[in-house]
A = this chain, B = another copy of it.
Amino acid sequence: PKIVTLPGDGIGPEVTAAAVEVLREVAPDVTIEEHAIGGGAYEDHADPFPQRTRDALKDADAALLGTVGGAHDSAWNKLPRHLRPESGLLALRRELGCYANLRPVRVLPGLEHLSPLKAEIARGVDILIVRELLGGIYFDQDRRIDGDTAYNTMRYTTPEVERVAKVAFWAAEQRRGRVTSVDKANVLEVSELWRRDVQALRDRDYRSIHLNHEYVDSVAMLVVANPSRYDVILTENLFGDILSDLAAVIPGSLGVMPSASLGDGAGLFEPIHGSAPDIAGQGVANPAAAILSAGMLLRHGLKRPDAANHVDRAVAIALREHPTRDLGGKADTRTFTHAVLEALG
């Protein structure tokens, strides 16, 4: 099998290098090819998603992404929209046909104290957010600024809703069997369609799943006040962007949060943290999220659950024994990565 790595910007290269070391250890037969994306790709190739990267992905079995983008005041943010780092990321998602973004949010036993929530609220939280990733207001074709008026259209079709809902139901079947579909059906027609289609699919093909529907504003509250009530949360692209980042604060460190984006072709696996330009190049970034993303790649991309479990366990041990600075410990990127490799082998 062939994996394409896309280290990207900021701390992306450092954490991706760590994940690659782990992959070489547990899947030595895999071919790994590195390519450019994001702000760096724009600098070198005048395109945040260069043709060469696009070509390399055509026969890849999975892609492992680092991070893209610069600081808030980066010159990249002043480029025309299609040349900005984020456009590279959106084009990558579209190229791979990754319509379902999976974000596990788990508070590991013994790490409750890291959460900004009270320990009794954070304890035992285990949510999977399934975010639609290729539709809605993100991929609107009619977007424009006309003089002093700007427009973006949120649009969903039944097939778009159904394909991502299937992923959520499938995931719930391996978990606690509950799906909460999130919308704003009291205001939006798009949400009315979403709610109707998700419910119809459940009633037709997933009778064993317990499905309920909640409003996005209410979920934003309850994810904080009572996160244990959720198993799988299914939602559209923009709400998912907000809710998945919101839920990601619960464990107390973005440094341990992986993600998988699945669809028709090769999957895309990436840590959810940003490019952290303030600490880039210093060798102190926590590579746990990138390594856990490699674990999701093994599980979902290469269908190697044993290797994936192996990686998950090794990261848990390393987190306990060699916590990085963001977790209140002292380990740098190298020390942590070695701890994982040791635990693996």
Contacts and interface: CB of A to CB of B under 8 A. Distances in A.
A217 B192 CA distance: 24
Interface in A176-201: 184, 186-190, 192-194
Interface string A68-93: 01001000010001001010001000
A110 interface: no
A221 B243 CA distance: 9
Interface stretch (A9-17, A149-157, A202-210, A262-270): A149-157
Interface centre among A149, A158, A190, A242 (most CB of B within 10 A): A242
Given A149-B155, A155-B150, A225 B116 contact: yes
Contact of A217 (B84, B193, B241): B241
A249 interface: yes
A74 to B, nearest CB: 11
A341 interface: no
Contacts of A143: 188-189
A245 to B, nearest CB: 4
A81 B143 CA distance: 26
B149 A184 contact: no
A345 interface: no
Contacts of A194: 150
Contact of A192 (B145, B157, B192): B145
Interface residues of A, number: 58
A84 B224 CA distance: 29
Nearest to A157: B149
A148 interface: yes
A245 B220 contact: yes
A246 B246 contact: yes
B192 A150 contact: yes
A144 B221 contact: no
Interface string A101-117: 00000000000000111
Contacts of A60: none
15 contacts: A84-B186, A86-B186, A90-B187, A137-B154, A143-B189, A144-B189, A148-B157, A150-B188, A150-B189, A152-B155, A184-B238, A217-B241, A221-B248, A224-B249, A242-B242
Interface of A: 69, 72, 77, 81, 84, 86, 90, 115-118, 121, 137-138, 143-145, 148-159, 184, 186-190, 192-194, 213-214, 216-218, 220-221, 224-226, 238-239, 241-246, 248-249
